Amino acid sequence: MKLPVNWLKDYVDVDIDIKTLGDRLTMSGSKVEGIEETFKIIENVVTGKIVELGKHPEADKLFVCQVDTGNGSVIQIVTAATNMKEGDTIPVALHGSTLWGGLKIKKGKLRGVESNGMFCSMEELGLAEEGTCDGLMILKDGTPLGKDIKDVLGLNGGVLDLEITSNRPDCLSMLGMARETAATLGLRLRQPGYSYTATAVSDEPVSVSIDTDKCRRYMAKEIVNVKIEESPEWIQSRLLEAGVRPINNIVDLTNFVMLELGQPLHAFDRREITSGTIRIAESVEGTKFTTLDSVERTLNSGTVLIQDDSKVIGLGGIMGGLDSEIKEDTTRIILEAANFDGVSIRRSEGFLGLKTEASLRFNKDIDPNLCELAVNRFCSLVQELKAGDIVSETVDVYNARRVPNTISLGVSYVNSFIGTDISGEEMVRILESLDMKAELDGDILTVTTPTFRGDLNIKEDITEEIARIYGYDRIPATVPSIRTVRSGKYPVQRMRDTLKQVLVASGLYESIAYSFISRKDLDKVLVPADSDLRKVVEIRNPLGEDYSIMRTTSVPSMMENLSRNLTRSNPEAALFEIGRIYLDRNEVLPLEKEVLTVGMYGGDLLFEVKGLLETIFEEFGIEKVAYDRSKKVAYHPGKSADVSAAGEAIGTFGEIHPSVLDNYGIDVPCYVLELDLDTLYRKASLARKYSQLPKYPAITRDLAVLVDDSVLSGQIEAVITKQGGALLESVKLFDVYKGLQVPEGKKSIAYSLVYRNQDRTLTDGEVQKVHDKILRSLEYQLGAVLR
């Protein structure tokens, strides 16, 4: 941001040179990138009055002027300009002077007539762009003669070039930087005037309708009997020093107020608003609109539009439309002061490649309460310049009101935190110099922050404000007191470490994969077109097509690792990855889930994978585990299972589908386990309970039954466990057989059952009674036959 020192002096009495000012502001947190003494090059140019004007004797297009340059000194100057007359006061470049751009002026003769200098235009003084001036710069009547033109036009101050951080949008304004300057130098801040008198009534009032949450506030104010003309010199010089080209009084005032207060304004020609309603809505994909710079732009969806009932008249927060701009014959305007969502503005300006002074401020989320101040300031200036009559009605739709924030902290805390001994009264003075309300009650400071300081939310923020205004250079250097405290890991971290220990002890190696995959990877693992796994988070700046989306499943990453190991001639592999998947929930951020993925090949490893899963469950105390045939298309339909714990899905394991193996060029069976670690950690119980060794002996019975192939081992175990009751200590599968002596469609499945009573020795009769009950239930519920 450019900070003209002469303009800054309108609000605070700065009496130090520009370099010192820049150093002081930098030390208080406002980083000065550079100092531009823009008009320093201009030398020996003074004010003069034309006292006599005549034709050149040898040239029809030249004039010979006698010029009073002060103290009764009259010099002769020959000029080709035509817009001056006798009595005009103009800038005069004397012999030996230097103009904008380094042009040197010396006395000489023009067609035989002596000329002792040159009259100057605004362009030659660096006050206007090349080719925009027509004739000399005529100064107002009463301008003192013989004065340095830089003093007369206020060009001596120089400009500070500031780097404003994104958390301080209030500093993107003259008033914001004047507040910082006043607080830094201990001076008084002068607020600009906001008062005016409304003297007109509109015969065609407008209303405002906001149809998007991307617009927090919208104010509209009508001004009639508008006179479009040049702005006064003081307005033009302020804008030029700040790097803005003057256009006309109304447009210049919108720019002036934006630079002064930090609130962008826009003026619409009332004739171009063909309905009585201004609507704020969002664009649809492909909408076309011609902006003020005469460029037709194709919009994306979600851009904020300002429109009437029939057409778009502006891009909210970025730029107005060509048709509704202020024209020479404009007599009625609608002034817009609005507040837009910063994220929306950043996205729209990025898509359009269109950054403006307005969007620079809106994309940093400026204060919605600035709108009213800006409208009042604009109206007061219009009345001051007699540029129009203010209509009494003001339309104000304010949907998301911002209120001040209150923070409490201790004076002792501040001094301890920054290593000072500042009194509470001094802290109050510092905070009030930054427009905060501060109350001191003993050791407690209660601070109410202004709404334009959205960066102040916690006590550390207030402490930093006190430190920077007090002066970092005044804080004594001390050796920091360092205490080391050994803190334990969080429960989730400890469980993750335990899980890795179990996996490594089971013979697995950890692998690491990108969280980025391609849509083609979802095709390779046969994800259905209508699956929620297809709702992905796209990466705006991907490394390449192969890394263009965030993964919603970790199976493709593991399959890539298994395929890579196989192509490197590794005969077997057992890998695991603990990583994240990202599920789109149609919200700002996706749902991140931590998952364990195990991948193996090198034999018939289905039950090895299941055994690993059971080991994990045992280590983490997971109970009530159930297995059901998996219907996930990436897995072999007859050799995979979905796993649940206490009725909640927790994972899937099994052999990978042959079609998936073909897609990865793998010709051996592969086995994968997916485990939802968020659910595992939540259900885990790492507490260990110990009991004494049993005093009484156990009785073991084997049970072998014939069942249909479709009957699952888990179903059989559930029946055995339920009917075994308190006497059944454990049940263990030890044999599954299909072949000779077993009918087609059947299988023989055998279990070892252990019975025990903790209080006495069991009898064979008691065990047999329970054993028979189990067998009857298996026959009745599952059609099992004792083998």
Kindly report, residue by residue over 368-406, the tens digit of the pLDDT.
Answer: 999 999 999 999 999 999 999 999 999 999 998 999 999
Which CATH superfamily hosts domain 43-153?
Nucleic acid-binding proteins (2.40.50.140)
For the chain, give the percent of residues with pLDDT over 70. 100
Look at residue 231 and tell me whether its pLDDT is greater than 80.
Answer: yes
Tell me the pTM.
0.64
The pLDDT of residue 129 is 72
For residue 174, the surrounding DSSP H or E stretch is: helix 174-185
Strand, coil or helix: 30? coil
The pLDDT of residue 779 is 93
Which structure tokens are listed for 583?
Answer: 């599920």
Helix axes 233-241, 249-261, angle to 10 degrees: 50
pLDDT digits (tens, 9 = 90+) for 25-54: 999 999 999 988 778 889 999 999 999 999
**759 DSSP assignment:** S
pLDDT digits (tens, 9 = 90+) for 770-786: 999 999 999 999 999 99
The pLDDT of residue 156 is 75
**677 DSSP assignment:** H
Which structure tokens are listed for 104?
Answer: 């040197």
pLDDT digits (tens, 9 = 90+) for 528-582: 999 999 999 999 888 888 999 999 999 999 999 999 999 999 999 999 999 999 9
Highest mean pLDDT among 349-358, 671-680, 701-710: 671-680
The pLDDT of residue 275 is 85
Q: Which residue has the tokens 């401020």?
A: 361
- Quickly state the pLDDT bin for 666 (edges 50, 70, 90): very high
pLDDT, mean of residues 474-499: 85
Please report, in angstroms and rounded to a whole number, the separation of the first and last CA atoms in the chain. 90
The pLDDT of residue 60 is 85
Q: Which residues are annotated as a binding site?
A: 455, 461, 464-465
The pLDDT of residue 299 is 92
Among candidate residues 177, 153, 155, 156, the one with its CA nearest the CA of residue 12: 177
Helix axes 424-433, 174-185, angle to 10 degrees: 160
Rg (the chain; Cα; Å): 41
CA angle 312, 318, 322 (to 5 degrees): 45
Look at residue 486 and tell me whether its pLDDT is greater than 80.
Answer: no
What class is the 699-786 domain? alpha beta
Q: Residue 757 in contact with residue 725, Cβ under 8 Å?
A: no
Print the SS3 string covering 137-156: CCECCCCCCCCEHHHHHCCC
Picking from 290-294, 384-388, 601-605, 658-662, which range would have the lowest pLDDT averaged per residue? 290-294
pLDDT digits (tens, 9 = 90+) for 131-181: 777 789 999 888 999 999 988 887 777 899 999 999 999 999 999 999 999
Largest CA distance in the chain: 144
Which CATH superfamily hosts domain 491-683?
Bira Bifunctional Protein; Domain 2 (3.30.930.10)
- Quickly state the pLDDT bin for 685 (edges 50, 70, 90): confident
The pLDDT of residue 155 is 77
- Quickly state the pLDDT bin for 243 (edges 50, 70, 90): confident
pLDDT digits (tens, 9 = 90+) for 718-729: 899 999 999 999
pLDDT, mean of residues 213-226: 96
The pLDDT of residue 135 is 87
Look at residue 196 and tell me whether its pLDDT is greater than 90.
Answer: yes
pLDDT digits (tens, 9 = 90+) for 99-114: 988 899 999 999 889 9
CA 457 to chain centre: 17
Across the chain, mean pLDDT equals 92
Q: Which residues are annotated as a binding site for Mg(2+)?
A: 455, 461, 464-465
What class is the 207-398 domain? alpha beta
The pLDDT of residue 52 is 93
Picking from 118-132, 353-367, 730-744, which range would have the lowest pLDDT averaged per residue? 118-132
The pLDDT of residue 41 is 87
- Quickly state the pLDDT bin for 668 (edges 50, 70, 90): very high
Return the amino acid letter for 695.
Answer: K
Same fold? 2-37+158-185, 405-439+449-474:
yes
Helix axes 18-27, 174-185, angle to 10 degrees: 90
- Where in the chain are the domains? 2-37+158-185, 43-153, 207-398, 405-439+449-474, 491-683, 699-786
Query: Within 10 A of 352 (CB to CB), how many other CB atoms are there?
Result: 20
CATH of domain 405-439+449-474: 3.30.56.10
Long-range pairs for 603-608: beta carbons < 8 A, 24 or more residues apart = 603/572, 604/669, 605/669, 605/671, 606/639, 606/654, 606/655, 606/671, 608/671
What topology is assigned to 2-37+158-185 in CATH? Answer: Phenylalanyl-tRNA Synthetase; Chain B, domain 1 (3.30.56)
Query: Within 10 A of 154 (CB to CB), how many other CB atoms are there?
Result: 18
Look at residue 736 and tell me whether its pLDDT is greater than 80.
Answer: yes
